[in-house]
Amino acid sequence: MVRFVYVCPVGTSLLQNFVRDPRWGSVVERFKEFRVESWFRLSPDDPLNIVPDGYICSVVRGHELFNALLNYLRSNPKEACAEVNGIYGIRDLFGHSPRDVEVLLYHSRTCNSRLCGSVLEDFLRGEGYLVESIEVRALRSVDDFELGLIEVLDKIVRLVVRKKSEGLKVYVNATPGFKSEVTFLVIASILAGADGVVYIHESFRSPVLLPIPPLTLNTKVVSDVLELFKDISCLDTYYVNSRLGSELVTNMLDLGVLRLEEGRVCIREWVKHLPL
């Protein structure tokens, strides 16, 4: 019976470590024409990496390279990728049994992240974990960044709120993934009620339970902001200042809740998805 939930972003450390391990050099060499040695660092817009037609997306269960990655992960899980290293860190800190844990893997809509997520899913299920995979928007540009954060809120934080309402304890694996998204995920998960955040410190390679500061939302303030912008994204600066007060507006701008655009004040879309 599931009693604990691990939230785990998916990066590409599995691919990076795999191609650097000389034991798997012959496999890497066979796929050299597809630049397999660079898959871990490809941009979302690289033709090899675009969903659904990029070549990496064809590396699915049963493919020689998929099987090699899975066997590599099984051979030394903690060294093979940051995701498993962090999951094991949470498990060891609290003494959880895999049969009591559900892992929420979130990967980006890119072929390399999908591949890593699929290999991780197979491995973790083989270890006895219940696994759910969630896909979020790939961050291709500054313009996509806010939309990607909205998806984090929609697809991850809402799950945290739901799992907490079911009486489960929720822990965040902060070791893998891109730092900007993981930072946002950690903060948002804390606001949603996560019970712990665990990070594997690269210097001494041991799990660290990060302290959770008493982060709270001033729900009254945020509710007032949402009420003002409920039917529109941008309003005249003078009007917003008169309704909310210039000091509060300045504070909300500094926090990134609001932004200025051509003389108007606009609400950031992700704010509308906060679990108030």
The reply to whether 184 and 96 lie within a common domain is: yes
Residues 24 and 70 in one domain: yes
Q: What is the pLDDT of residues 155-165, one digit of tens each?
A: 777 888 899 99
pLDDT tens for each residue of 112-128? 999 999 999 999 999 99
Neighbours of 113 (CB within 10 A): 28
Q: What is the pTM of this model?
A: 0.85
42 and 99, same domain (yes or no): yes
Domains in the chain, number: 2
Same domain assignment for residues 164 and 249 = no
User: Which tens digits make up the pLDDT trace of 72-84?
Assistant: 999 999 999 999 9
pLDDT in tens, the chain (276 residues): 999 999 999 999 999 999 999 999 999 999 999 999 999 999 999 999 999 999 999 999 999 999 999 999 999 999 999 999 999 999 999 999 999 999 999 998 999 999 999 999 999 999 999 999 999 887 666 667 777 777 777 777 788 889 999 999 999 999 998 777 788 888 888 878 899 999 987 666 788 888 777 666 677 888 999 999 999 999 999 999 999 999 999 988 887 789 999 989 999 887 887 766
Find, among 190, 172, 151, 158, the residue nearest to 103 by Cα.
172
Domain of 55, CATH number, reads 3.40.50.10770
Structural domain range at position 147: 4-210
112 and 182 belong to one structural domain? yes
Tell which of 210, 242, 257 closes a domain.
210
Say yes or no: 187 and 255 in one domain. no
pLDDT value for 222: 87
Tokens encoding 21: 């391990």
My answer on whether 129 and 194 are in the same domain is yes
One domain for residues 14 and 140: yes
The pLDDT score that the predictor gives to residue 152 is: 77
What local confidence, expressed as pLDDT, does residue 216 receive? 62
Residues 163 and 240 in one domain: no
- Whether residues 111 and 26 share a domain: the answer is yes
